[in-house]
Amino acid sequence: MNSPDDLHQRPIVSVDLAIFALAPDGLEVLLAQRGAEPFAGSWALPGGWIHVDEDRDLEAAAQRVLRDKTGVAAPYFEQVGVFGDAARDPRGWSLSVTYMALIAKEAVTLMHGGNATGAAWHPIGSDTATIPLAFDHAAILKAAVTRLRNKVEYTTLPVHLLPEAFTLSELQAVYERLLGRLLDKSAFRKRIAEVDFIEPIAGEMRRASNRPAQLYRLKQARSTVFFDRTI
Considering only 24, 37, 52, 130, the residue that binds a copy of itself (CB under 8 A) is 52
109 makes contact with a copy of itself (CB under 8 A): no
User: At its nearest, how many Å lie between a copy of itself and the CB of residue 144?
Assistant: 14
Q: Is 156 exposed, middle or buried (0-12, 13-18, 19+ CB in 10 A)?
A: buried
Task: Give the count of beta carbons closer than 10 Å to the beta carbon of residue 134.
Answer: 19
Among 83, 135, 175, 188, the residue binding a copy of itself under the rule CB under 8 A is 83
Under the criterion CB under 8 A, does residue 90 sit at the interface with a copy of itself? Answer: no
181 scored as a contact of a copy of itself (CB under 8 A): no
Q: 150: phi > 0 → left, psi -120 to 50 → alpha, else beta; which?
A: alpha
Largest CA distance in the chain: 74
Residue 155 Cβ vs a copy of itself, minimum distance, rounded to whole Å: 13
Sole binder of a copy of itself in the list 25, 37, 57, 106 (CB under 8 A):
57
Q: Using CA atoms, how far apart are residues 57 and 128, in angstroms rounded to an integer?
A: 28
**Residue selected from 26, 39, 58, 112 as contacting a copy of itself according to rule CB under 8 A:** 58
H or E element at residue 96: strand 94-102
